Chain A
């Protein structure tokens, strides 16, 4: 019996630091852990899967006819934006998970292990990317079943997915900061609802900017959610398939603007998060 719990004789020479390769492997293991968690938490899976599908169905069939005149027209307009909105909501899980680790002591356990200091954070963010990819795939698939068509090509579509993942990567840092500052995981979710709902709805995700009152239009136009949605529409649908009011002239401008936003968000929130985390632990 004691063999199981016996101490291992310490090797003569212990390595003084973690290699990059080891760090990457540890990151993969921690990402695996975050994905496996979903299996035991069906609610979370519902958030990536059922909730976005409900949004697509609801907006397409209940409001779509009224907003765009026909449901298939509306789906073409709204689906890329819904994907953007969904992406932002999913990033909140980075913060919820991190906060759970911090409050339950798991984060301390990880920090007491001989692993790369950046691995726990990198693992979370990598897992988030997997969840994001799954969600984008699911929304596109359900969209296709309901009549959404890719008007561009494979490369443009992949560019859209890449842009979404990159934006998610940057926005994760906002989630990390909320996760570090919040007292408990529920507060992180609460932030998600109270802050992300207005930001995503005051955009052109569900209706074109031109249909809104004049005072609101500049706000909506400069909302990064609008910009990213336009970029995704341009990359997924192209400019031929939609009527003038819904028209996206070219992909270049919104794509470049999205990249600038992503860089700005990461530049502000990554250092802020790391600073806040150092203070908390």
Chain B
């Protein structure tokens, strides 16, 4: 099969709000698709439809060739789901949590135990295997949650903001795990509002906003799509930042951003670089950094949506 995950014209409304307004996407088997978007863009709603938890109002979606509405039971046999809130039973131990899933999937008790043991070891949870999950740290819960979605060795995995709220170390650990999964042949659909996450993990990225796909392609394609590069200037002396900002603004005809000790601005004409050097030299500004780099996804996002990505975890898709 070519595409492990496919959707066409997905529409989902919650009362007055339209969470998805005709979303289409496809993920080739064995690759990672990053579904990128700000809060309320519709990412979680899309994942919930793929995971058979929500029926679309219009359009259709399939996983592994099975329609998520009409052939939901088959679809469920192929997928694993890790939501943005670690969905583990806090009153059970790590082992019991995994044992529960294994038994529900029809594994005989010894096989389920063996599988739980294997996953706990592999996810660095062996020491905490017999402790109730309520005593786990945030990172440990996410790892257990991910392990729980892998008990049945799914070939298609949905990760809904898997690292939201994790500290950088736990995040990196989870990334390593996800990379290993992909190396094992799993197809992954990952939602995230962290651009670096999509940039590092995803083969392809679909950007959605207000329930619509606004861009799709590989990270490099997306960066190239904005047609611009970014000029970065760092003066040796911070007090000269206003001078640098003024020079950059004049030459790039854009509104530069001051990011700590650096001034950045999008540029379309590479010839601007020598001009900047001359003008700064004339102004007597010493620079420690002067580069022209491809746009980061953050800038791509800004240019696509006109606003930066926010950081709060989204709660869409679960109307109270």
The answer to whether A and B belong to the same complex is yes
**A contact residues vs B (CB 8 Å cutoff):** 1-10, 14-18, 22, 25-26, 29-30, 32-33, 36-37, 40-41, 101, 104-106, 108-115, 119, 183, 281
Interface 0/1 of B82-126, CB less than 8 Å to A: 010111111111001000110111100000000000110110000
Distance of A180 from chain B, by nearest CB (Å) = 12
Q: Give Cα A112–Cα B78 distance, bound, in whole angstroms.
A: 10
> Is there an interface contact between A112 and B91, defined as CB atoms closer than 8 Å?
no
Within 8 A of A (CB), among B64-87: 64, 66, 71, 73-74, 76-79, 81, 83, 85-87
Chain B residue numbers with a CB within 8 Å of A17 are 73
Chain A residue numbers with a CB within 8 Å of B83 are 105, 108-109
Chain B minimum-CB-distance residue to A103: B85
Q: Give Cα A2–Cα B64 distance, bound, in whole angstroms.
A: 22
Q: Can you spell out 7 A-B residue pairs with CB atoms less than 8 angstroms apart?
A: A1-B180, A2-B183, A29-B104, A33-B89, A41-B91, A105-B87, A109-B149
Chain A minimum-CB-distance residue to B156: A7
Interface check B214, CB cutoff 8 A: no
Q: Give Cα A164–Cα B71 distance, bound, in whole angstroms.
A: 41
Interface check B260, CB cutoff 8 A: no
Chain A residue numbers with a CB within 8 Å of B184 are 2-3, 5-7
Interface check B177, CB cutoff 8 A: yes
Q: Which of B105, B177, B187 is within 8 Å of A5, CB to CB?
A: B177
Chain B residue numbers with a CB within 8 Å of A6 are 153, 184-186
Interface check B148, CB cutoff 8 A: yes
> Is there an interface contact between A7 and B180, defined as CB atoms closer than 8 Å?
no
Q: Give Cα A29–Cα B109 distance, bound, in whole angstroms.
A: 11
> Is there an interface contact between A106 and B153, defined as CB atoms closer than 8 Å?
no
Interface check B181, CB cutoff 8 A: yes
Within 8 A of A (CB), among B39-57: 48, 51-53
Q: Give Cα A2–Cα B100 distance, bound, in whole angstroms.
A: 23
Q: Give Cα A32–Cα B106 distance, bound, in whole angstroms.
A: 15
> Is there an interface contact between B73 and A18, defined as CB atoms closer than 8 Å?
yes
Chain A residue numbers with a CB within 8 Å of B87 are 104-106, 108-109
Q: Which of B78, B81, B89, B149 is within 8 Å of A14, CB to CB?
A: B78
> Is there an interface contact between B118 and A4, defined as CB atoms closer than 8 Å?
yes
Chain B residue numbers with a CB within 8 Å of A36 are 91-92, 96
Chain A residue numbers with a CB within 8 Å of B150 are 5
If A14-B66, A33-B100, A105-B83 touch, whether A114 touches B181 (CB-CB below 8 Å) is: no
Interface check B271, CB cutoff 8 A: no
Q: Give Cα A119–Cα B155 distance, bound, in whole angstroms.
A: 24
Q: Give Cα A115–Cα B101 distance, bound, in whole angstroms.
A: 10
Chain B residue numbers with a CB within 8 Å of A37 are 89, 91-92
**B contact residues vs A (CB 8 Å cutoff):** 48, 51-53, 64, 66, 71, 73-74, 76-79, 81, 83, 85-93, 96, 100-101, 103-106, 118-119, 121-122, 132, 134, 148-150, 152-155, 177, 180-181, 183-187, 320
Q: Give Cα A36–Cα B133 distance, bound, in whole angstroms.
A: 13
> Is there an interface contact between A114 and B53, defined as CB atoms closer than 8 Å?
no
Known: A7-B186, A33-B89. 17 other contacts (CB 8 A): A2-B180, A4-B122, A6-B185, A7-B153, A7-B184, A8-B154, A14-B77, A14-B78, A16-B73, A25-B106, A29-B104, A33-B92, A101-B89, A108-B51, A108-B87, A109-B83, A112-B51
Q: Give Cα A30–Cα B320 distance, bound, in whole angstroms.
A: 25
Which 6 pairs from chain A and chain B are nearest by CB? Answer: A105-B87, A6-B184, A8-B153, A37-B91, A114-B76, A7-B155
Q: Give Cα A102–Cα B51 distance, bound, in whole angstroms.
A: 16
Chain B minimum-CB-distance residue to A14: B74
Distance of A106 from chain B, by nearest CB (Å) = 5
If A17-B73, A18-B73 touch, whether A113 touches B101 (CB-CB below 8 Å) is: yes
If A1-B122, A108-B81, A114-B77 touch, whether A10 touches B155 (CB-CB below 8 Å) is: yes
Chain B residue numbers with a CB within 8 Å of A3 are 184
> Is there an interface contact between A104 and B85, defined as CB atoms closer than 8 Å?
yes
Distance of A268 from chain B, by nearest CB (Å) = 24
Chain B residue numbers with a CB within 8 Å of A14 are 66, 73-74, 77-78
If A16-B74, A109-B148, A112-B52 touch, whether A8 touches B155 (CB-CB below 8 Å) is: yes
Q: Give Cα A256–Cα B175 distance, bound, in whole angstroms.
A: 62
Q: Give Cα A1–Cα B86 distance, bound, in whole angstroms.
A: 24
Q: Give Cα A159–Cα B295 distance, bound, in whole angstroms.
A: 76
Distance of A76 from chain B, by nearest CB (Å) = 38
Chain A minimum-CB-distance residue to B183: A2
> Is there an interface contact between A7 and B101, defined as CB atoms closer than 8 Å?
no
Q: Give Cα A1–Cα B124 distance, bound, in whole angstroms.
A: 12
> Is there an interface contact between B186 and A5, defined as CB atoms closer than 8 Å?
yes
Chain A residue numbers with a CB within 8 Å of B119 are 4
